């Protein structure tokens, strides 16, 4: 038994040592730095909530050297930010990605402090489920909850399994229950968008909505599949819905082939790559079905 534990201990220590060059310390907030992952030779991925200033950002690597970085883009919905380095950095062993973590498997969280160097905490993946929308409005490819401790420097660091494969990026801002690993598939998708545009485009119709139950008689007379719809409480002037003729009081029941009963249904549709496309929206208006053609717009970015 003792030798088995020693072997496990040595394996874990070896993983930390091999992957330490990929984990950097990010200096972009007051009091203490966060961590980041060397995603590509000139690209660092970290947690968006730890980037409290967009200028004068510096990165400290495993060899103790510090270099400047520019903010390439950020996405609060997925809590990811991408930094670009002026010159590429060698990381040694390549990252191997794991897209299918399992509940119960070991998880190592790797962060870096400029004082103590690489930090590691060990736990398990406590829960895994399907696609998950964060409270910030982002869509993660899966929900990965950790029971490993996240130290003050850990957010933005790497989460890896017992084989040293990357599960995702650690964050403590997306759940009040426990730390979350933003899955590696989400990191890849969002990073590509941030490098291309600096933000993640999200579609919108330009309406304020509230779910409402539909009377049984109306469901039968209109042959509706859902039990509820989304009542329009506000129409943004000159927005996509306004241009299409949507009125306050209309009840949205479907967009194209997607039945919408909850705000999350509409948000999921809007984020599914439909920006610029014409959609057929079906509304209940005056007890009858009204079909309108709406061109999905790109949600305006909030000014800083």
* DSSP letter string, 164-220: S-EEEEEESSS-SSS-EEEEHHHHHHHHHHHHHHSS---EE--EEEEEEEPPHHHHH
Residue indicated by tokens 């229950």: 177
Give the CATH superfamily of 203-298.
Answer: PDZ domain (2.30.42.10)
Tens digits of per-residue pLDDT, 159-171? 999 999 999 999 9
Q: What percentage of the chain exceeds 90 in pLDDT?
A: 67
* Structural domain spans, the chain: 2-197, 203-298
Q: What is the separation, in whole angstroms, between the first and last Cα of the chain? A: 57
CA angle 250, 77, 97 (to 5 degrees): 130
CB 21 within 8 A of CB 36: no
Helical (H) or strand (E) element with 11:
helix 2-19
Q: Please tell me whether the overall predicted TM-score, pTM, comes out greater than 0.85 for this model.
A: no
Average pLDDT of the chain is 91
Tens digits of per-residue pLDDT, 58-96? 999 998 889 999 999 999 989 999 999 988 888 777 889
Class of domain 2-197: mainly beta
Model confidence at 158, in pLDDT bands (50, 70, 90)?
very high
Tens digits of per-residue pLDDT, 267-289? 888 887 788 999 999 999 999 99
Model confidence at 1, in pLDDT bands (50, 70, 90)?
low
Q: Residue 300 gets which letter from DSSP?
A: P
Among candidate residues 143, 147, 140, 141, the one with its CA nearest the CA of residue 106: 147
CA angle 45, 174, 113 (to 5 degrees): 45
- Assess whether the region 2-197 and the region 203-298 belong to the same CATH fold: no
């Amino acid at each position: 038994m003792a030798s088995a534990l020693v072997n496990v201990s040595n394996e874990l220590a070896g993983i930390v040592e091999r992957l330490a060059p990929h984990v950097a310390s990010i200096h972009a907030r007051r009091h203490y730095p966060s961590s980041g992952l060397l995603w590509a030779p000139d690209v660092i991925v970290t947690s968006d909530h730890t980037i409290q200033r967009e200028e004068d950002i510096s990165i400290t690597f495993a060899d103790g050297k510090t270099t400047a970085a520019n903010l390439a883009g950020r996405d609060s919905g997925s809590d990811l930010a991408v930094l670009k380095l002026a010159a590429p950095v060698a990381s040694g062993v390549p990252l191997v990605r794991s897209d299918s973590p399992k509940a119960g498997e070991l998880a190592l969280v790797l962060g870096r402090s400029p004082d103590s160097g690489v930090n590691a905490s060990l736990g398990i993946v406590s829960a895994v489920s399907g696609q998950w929308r964060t409270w910030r409005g982002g869509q993660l490819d899966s929900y990965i909850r950790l029971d490993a401790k996240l130290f003050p420097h850990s957010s933005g660091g790497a989460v890896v399994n017992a084989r040293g494969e990357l599960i995702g990026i650690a964050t403590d801002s997306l759940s009040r229950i426990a730390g979350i690993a933003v899955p590696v598939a989400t990191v890849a998708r969002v990073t590509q968008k941030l490098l291309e545009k600096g933000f993640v485009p999200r579609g919108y119709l330009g309406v304020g909505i509230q779910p409402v139950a539909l009377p049984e008689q109306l469901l039968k007379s209109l042959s509706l599949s859902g039990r509820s719809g989304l009542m329009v409480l506000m129409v943004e002037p000159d927005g996509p819905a306004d241009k299409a003729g949507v009125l306050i009081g209309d009840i949205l029941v479907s967009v194209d082939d997607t039945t919408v009963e909850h705000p999350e249904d509409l948000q999921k549709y809007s984020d599914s790559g439909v920006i610029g496309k014409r959609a057929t929206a079906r509304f209940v208006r005056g007890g009858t079905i009204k079909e309108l053609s709406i061109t999905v717009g790109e949600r305006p970015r909030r000014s800083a």
